[in-house]
Amino acid sequence: MKEIILATANAHKVLEIKEILKGMDLSIKSLADFKDYPKVVEDGATLCENSVKKALTIAQFFNKPTISDDTGLEVEYLNGAPGVFSARFAGPQCIDKNNRLKLLKELNNVPFEKRAAHFKCAVSIVFPDRNMMIKTVEGQIDGYISLEESGQNGFGYDSLFWLAQYKKTFAELDAELKNKISHRAKALEKAKAIIAEFL
C-alpha cells in the first residue's frame, strides 16, 4: 500500500478527500498526523498556483507523494469574488461563519436570479520519485447563493450554495451525494486516473 500525504490539516476536507479516494490502494495521511511540517503561505494569484505550491512544499519536505487542493467560490455579481480569497474573505483570522455573513452582506438586496455562483477546485499531485512531477486537475459545479443559510452538513460556504437540480444547498445534501457531485469530487475523479497510474 502506497503512502500519500494530503497537504491539509482541515478535518472536514480530509474526511471528504478520504471518502472520495476510498477503495484505492493508498495509506492516506494528512498534516494533522504530523507535528512538524512547513506552513505554506497561500499567496498565489490562482487556485492552481496555491494548490501546486502546497503540494510541492509538502512533497519536498516529506519526500512522499502529496495531494493538495485549493477551492474557491466565485460569485458573478461580485465579479468573481471571493475567488482565491474564499477562505479569508472576511479577514486573515476569520472563521467560516464570518465569511458567510460577509457574503450575505455583500449580496444584500441582490435578487436571487442575479446570485449565480461557481465552486471551483484545483487538485495538484506531486511525485517525488519522478523528479517532483506535478499534475493538476480542476473541477467545477454551478449554483446560486441563497438568500439565507440552510442546512447543517458540510462546511465553508456549503449552507449558502444552492443547487438548482436538487433545490437544496450543499449543506442540505447528505455527504454521500455531495462527494459524488461536488467541485472537489469532480477534480478528484480526474486525479484518480493519475494516482492509479502511479500505483
Taking the CB of residue 137, how many other CB atoms lie within 10 A of it?
A: 21
- How is domain 2-198 classified at the CATH fold level? Maf protein (3.90.950)
70 included as an active-site residue: yes
pLDDT in tens, 32-46: 999 999 999 999 999
Catalytic choice (43, 70, 158, 174): 70
HSE (side-chain half, CA atoms, 13 Å) at 64: 17
Q: Which residue reads 467560490 in cell numbers? A: 73
pLDDT confidence tier of residue 129, bands split at 50, 70 and 90: confident
pLDDT in tens, 141-150: 999 999 999 9
Residue 199 has pLDDT above 80, yes or no: no
Domain boundaries, the chain: 2-198
CA 26 – CA 110 distance, rounded (Å) = 46
Taking the CB of residue 150, how many other CB atoms lie within 10 A of it?
A: 15
